[in-house]
Structure 1
Amino acid sequence: MRLGVIDVGSNAAQLLVVDARPGSAPLASYAFKRPTVLGTEIGRDGTMSTEGVRRVVRATTAVVARARSLDVAELYVFATSAVRDAANRDVIVRAVETATGLRPQFLSGEDEARLTYHAAHRWYGWSAGRLLLLDIGGGSMEIVLGRDAEPELAMSLPLGAGRMTRRFLTEDPPTERQLRKLTRHVREGLREAVERLRWEGAFDRAIATSKTFKQLARLAGAPPQSAGPFAKRALGVADLDHWLPELAAMTTAQRAALRGVSPARAGQVVAGAVVARTTMTALGVSTVDICPWALREGIMLHQLQTALSPTDPMALRTVRPMADGETWQRT
C-alpha cells in the first residue's frame, strides 16, 4: 500500500511517500517539497498576508499533484502551527481546498508531540529506556517524556523558531539586546515545563527531531543528509555555545551560505539555536541524539496501526484518507 503524507509548514509543503507493508519500517521511497517561506508573511496580529496565502496554495498544489502522479493510494494532508494558528486560517483552508480538492487537517500541538514521540520511540526501540524528546518547529516547540508506546507527558509551547524570530529578532543581524530578550522569554516560557519534568523524574536518553536541530547538528559537523538515516548525528550545548555567537553576527544571506542551512531557514536559525540552547540547559541536557523520524513518520505508523487494528483506542483519529470525490473533514 502506497501512503503519502503532506505537511504544510512555515518553510515548505513537504510530501513523504512510503510503500508500506504490515511490520515494515516506514522508510521513505520518495520525498518532495516546495517552499512556502512564511516567516515575513505573518503579521503582528497573526494574519497571514495575501502573498503568504498564495505561497501556501502554490506549494500545496504542487505536492498534491506530485502525490497523484505517484499513484498514492491514501493521502493525508495536514497543516502545522503556521497555518493552524493564523488568524485567517479559514481563508487559507478554503483557498487550498478550492485549488486541490483537499481540505487540510489540523493537529493540535499535543497531537503533534504524541505522534512525533511515537515515531522516535519506534526508531530507537524499547532498549532506549525513558526518552526525552525535543522538537523545534516554526511556530511551536514540543517536549515529550515517555518510556512506553504512549508518552507520559506531551507539551507544546509557542516557542517555534519562526515565531521567535518575528517577535524578537527584527534586525539583521540581531542585536545583543534582542538576543537577551529572546533568551529571557524562552526561559520564562519553559518554567512550567521544567517544573513538570522535574516532578516526572529522570530520563535515560535525550533525542531531538525537526529541521532546526538537524541543521544545527550539521553545522556542528554531523553527517549530511546524503549519508542516510542510519548515520549517527548529535548536537551538544558546547556546539551551540560555539556556533550561536557566530550565527548571530552574520546576516541572513551569510548564514544561507553555511553547510546545512537552507536559504528558507537562514533567517530563523539564530532563534532556533537560542531556543535549543536555552531548553537543553534548563532541562540539564548536555547532548541530544538527532532522530531521523518525526511527525510525518509518526502519522504513517499510526495509520498502519489503524489499518491493522481499527478498534485500537491508540489509533489516530485526527486524520483519515480521502475517498473519491470527498473533501477532508476532521473526524
Structure 2
Amino acid sequence: MTHSADDIVAAIDIGTNSTNLRIVSRRNGIVDSRITVTRLGQDVDQNRSLSEEAMQRVISCLADYRQVLDTYDSYSLRVVASSACRDASNREEFFTRVEKTIGVQPELLSGQDEGRLAYQGCASNLVLDPVGHLIIDIGGGSTEIMLGTTQLDIARSIDVGAVRITERHLRRDPPAPEELLNAIGEVQDLFEDLLREFPDMARAPQIIGTAGTIITVAAVEIGQRVFDPAGLHAFRLTRSAIEDVFRTLATESLSDRVHNPGLPRDRADVIVGGCCVLVALMRSLDADEMIISAYNILDGVCAELLGNP
C-alpha cells in the first residue's frame, strides 16, 4: 500500500538513556513504537562529551530504525535530542553522523521545549484537571516539570535524571544508605528552588507521570510479566507504592534486582537513580498519587508533524 508523507509521520527521541521511535498514521494512530537503551549520556555529566562507544550504540540503533522507516513509501520524520546532547561539547560531530545515518539533522531541544512537547503528548491522551495539573517526565539526564490549567502555563527542566543521579551518587552495589540520602537530597534542593519560584506547582490537584523511570516503577508495582507501557496508561500509582518499589530495588544487588517482574534488564542499573528522583519529587509535593501516562514527547512531536494543536 502506498502512503503519502501526509499519512505517516515518525519521531525519534535521542535521549540520555534510550533512543526511541514512534510511527503514527493519521488514520490509524500509532502503528509502531520502539524503545532501545543506548545510554548516550554515559559519563557525559563528568566528561561533558559523548564517548565514541556511546555514539556508536545510537548510530547502530538508528540504522535499525532506518530499515523500519524504509518499509514505508513516504513519511515525515523529525529527530530530537535532549539532555546528553545539551551537555556535550562534541554534539555537532555526533549530529553529522546521525544525519548521515537517518537522513535528518537532529534538533537540539532546550529543557523548556522538551517539556512543552512532553506536555503536548500527555495532554492529548488524558482528561486533565483544569484547576491545575503537574506533569513530571523523568529522563536519563534531566527531569521536565510542566504545570497546566486549561493550557500549558509553565515548563521547566532540572538537571537530574536516572543516569545522571546514578553516576553522581550511587557507586556501591547495592547503594549505601548515605548515597541514597545524598541523591534524594540533591533532587529535593533543586525542586524546592523551583517550588519557591512557582508555588502553584505544589498546589496542583492532579499529578501525571510519564517516561521510562515512572513507567518502570508502575510496571514493577503491578509485577507486569511482559513490559508493556501502553497497558499502564491511566494507572494510579500511589506514593506508598512508589516508596515500596524504591525500598525493594534500592536494597537489592544488581544481580538480584534484574529478576523483578516489570523491570527491563537494561534499565536495572539506573532504575534506583530514577527512583531517587521520583521519591524526592513526591515527598516534596507531599502527593498521595500520580496518574501514569504512556504517551510522551514522541507523541508531542508526532502531533506537531500532523498539524495538531
TM-score (norm 1): 0.84
State the alpha-carbon separation in 1 of the partners of residues 97 and 172 from structure 2: 32
Q: CA, structure 1 residues 74+203, in 2 after alignment: closer, same or farther (shift >3 Å)? A: same
Counterpart check, 1:7 vs 2:9 = no
Task: Answer whether contact 1:146 1:153 (CA < 8 A) is retained.
Answer: yes
Letter aligned with residue 248 of structure 1: A
Counterpart check, 1:196 vs 2:197 = yes
State the alpha-carbon separation in 1 of the partners of residues 43 and 184 from structure 2: 24
- Name the residue aligned to 1:90: 92
- Name the residue aligned to 1:70: 72
Q: CA, structure 1 residues 251+46, in 2 after alignment: closer, same or farther (shift >3 Å)? A: farther
CA deviation after TM superposition for structure 1 residue 222, in Å: 7.0
State the alpha-carbon separation in 2 of the partners of residues 209 and 274 from structure 1: 16
CA deviation after TM superposition for structure 1 residue 84, in Å: 3.0
Q: Please list every run of 5 or more consecutive structure 2 residues that lacks an aligned counterpart in the other structure.
A: 1-6
Measured against aligned partners, the alpha-carbon deviations of 1:81-114 in whole angstroms (never above 9, x if no partner) come to 1233223212211222233332211111101111
Q: CA, structure 1 residues 227+42, in 2 after alignment: closer, same or farther (shift >3 Å)? A: closer
Q: CA, structure 1 residues 222+303, in 2 after alignment: closer, same or farther (shift >3 Å)? A: farther
- Name the residue aligned to 2:258: 256
Task: Answer whether contact 1:17 1:72 (CA < 8 A) is retained.
Answer: no
- Name the residue aligned to 1:20: 26
CA deviation after TM superposition for structure 1 residue 225, in Å: 5.2
Q: CA, structure 1 residues 253+67, in 2 after alignment: closer, same or farther (shift >3 Å)? A: farther
Farther-moved stretch of structure 1 (247-256 vs 196-205): 196-205
State the alpha-carbon separation in 2 of the partners of residues 268 and 226 from structure 1: 19
State the alpha-carbon separation in 1 of the partners of residues 141 and 107 from structure 2: 17
Task: Answer whether contact 1:35 1:59 (CA < 8 A) is retained.
Answer: no
RMSD: 2.3
CA deviation after TM superposition for structure 1 residue 201, in Å: 6.9
- Name the residue aligned to 1:277: 279
SS of the residue corresponding to residue 220 of structure 1 reads: helix
Q: CA, structure 1 residues 186+226, in 2 after alignment: closer, same or farther (shift >3 Å)? A: closer
CA deviation after TM superposition for structure 1 residue 71, in Å: 3.2
State the alpha-carbon separation in 1 of the partners of residues 116 and 274 from structure 2: 21
TM-score (norm 2): 0.89
**Which of 284, 288, 291 is the matching residue for 1:286?**
288
Task: Answer whether contact 2:233 2:293 (CA < 8 A) is retained.
Answer: no
CA deviation after TM superposition for structure 1 residue 283, in Å: 1.4
Counterpart check, 1:148 vs 2:160 = no
- Name the residue aligned to 2:107: 105
Letter aligned with residue 221 of structure 2: A
State the alpha-carbon separation in 1 of the partners of residues 232 and 263 from structure 2: 21
Task: Answer whether contact 2:45 2:87 (CA < 8 A) is retained.
Answer: no
State the alpha-carbon separation in 2 of the partners of residues 221 and 72 from structure 1: 40
Counterpart check, 1:216 vs 2:222 = no
State the alpha-carbon separation in 1 of the partners of residues 159 and 68 from structure 2: 32
Q: CA, structure 1 residues 186+50, in 2 after alignment: closer, same or farther (shift >3 Å)? A: same
SS of the residue corresponding to residue 46 of structure 2 reads: coil
Measured against aligned partners, the alpha-carbon deviations of 1:114-133 in whole angstroms (never above 9, x if no partner) come to 11112222212456642111
Measured against aligned partners, the alpha-carbon deviations of 1:149-190 in whole angstroms (never above 9, x if no partner) come to 3x1111100011111111111222211121111111111111
Task: Answer whether contact 2:12 2:19 (CA < 8 A) is retained.
Answer: yes
SS of the residue corresponding to residue 136 of structure 2 reads: strand
Task: Answer whether contact 2:134 2:201 (CA < 8 A) is retained.
Answer: no
Task: Answer whether contact 1:45 1:87 (CA < 8 A) is retained.
Answer: no
Number of equivalenced pairs: 302
Letter aligned with residue 9 of structure 2: L
Letter aligned with residue 17 of structure 2: N
Q: CA, structure 1 residues 231+106, in 2 after alignment: closer, same or farther (shift >3 Å)? A: closer
State the alpha-carbon separation in 1 of the partners of residues 162 and 100 from structure 2: 30
SS of the residue corresponding to residue 69 of structure 1 reads: coil
Identity %: 26
Farther-moved stretch of structure 1 (32-41 vs 85-94): 32-41
